[in-house]
Chain A
Amino acid sequence: EDKVVQSPLSLVVHEGDTVTLNCSYEVTNFRSLLWYKQEKKAPTFLFMLTSSGIEKKSGRLSSILDKKELFSILNITATQTGDSAVYLCAVEGNTGKLIFGQGTTLQVKP
């Protein structure tokens, strides 16, 4: 059965800290791994990863995929209170459906 597991489930840090969120997966015919940020409403897209070892960066956020070990990490440096959200990892298999992990709830304190 396809599954996506995120860790930790929740995290509390202070502004300026660096955090690393983990996502491991078992999916038949992997196509891509996606990271989303969810605040009060629907998820907003952060990254899509398809190739191993290539880091994607957007400002203070970066992510990388390891297709051999079947995991991805999302790094956030110099965290700000606005980074507080649920971060969702999703994997797409050969059917085009997204399988979501449980999410990591990040709280950044001032």
Chain B
Amino acid sequence: GAVVSQHPSRVICKSGTSVKIECRSLDFQATTMFWYRQFPKKSLMLMATSNEGSKATYEQGVEKDKFLINHASLTLSTLTVTSAHPEDSSFYICSASRDRYEQYFGPGTRLTVT
């Protein structure tokens, strides 16, 4: 089966700092990667769609200058939360797709901004 990893699994940072989260597809090439955010007891909210070698497409209401996404290769996408604030604390999950009908989810990253 397809495996997607995320790193780190948990991060605590101070307000004003930036945090980078990596999403890797370990055994397949992902043409598209998706970044989701999940609040406590809420569903997954799609933040952006990332295609290798091109700019990410952000969902309405998601600040692209705050949540920087880079899809540098077919196996790696990164999400950088810039100038993090406590309200950015959340569970961030990536998924990777190798064809248009399947998405494989990473284990998620718990971000806490103090």
Binding site for B on A (CB under 8 A): 31-32, 36, 41-45, 48, 88, 90, 92, 95-103, 105
Binding site for A on B (CB under 8 A): 32, 34, 41-46, 49, 93, 95, 97, 100-108
Interface SS majority for chain B: strand
User: A101 to chain B: which residues have CB within 8 Å?
Assistant: 43
Q: Contact: B34 with A98, CB < 8 Å?
A: yes
User: A48 to chain B: which residues have CB within 8 Å?
Assistant: 101-102
- A46 CB to nearest B CB, Å: 12
Interface SS majority for chain A: strand
Q: Contact: B108 with A100, CB < 8 Å?
A: no
Given contacts A42-B93, A102-B42, A103-B43, contact A97 B105 (CB under 8 A): no
Taking a contact as CB atoms closer than 8 A, the residue among A41, A95, A103 that contacts B107 in the complex is: A41
Given contacts A32-B101, A102-B42, A102-B43, contact A97 B106 (CB under 8 A): no
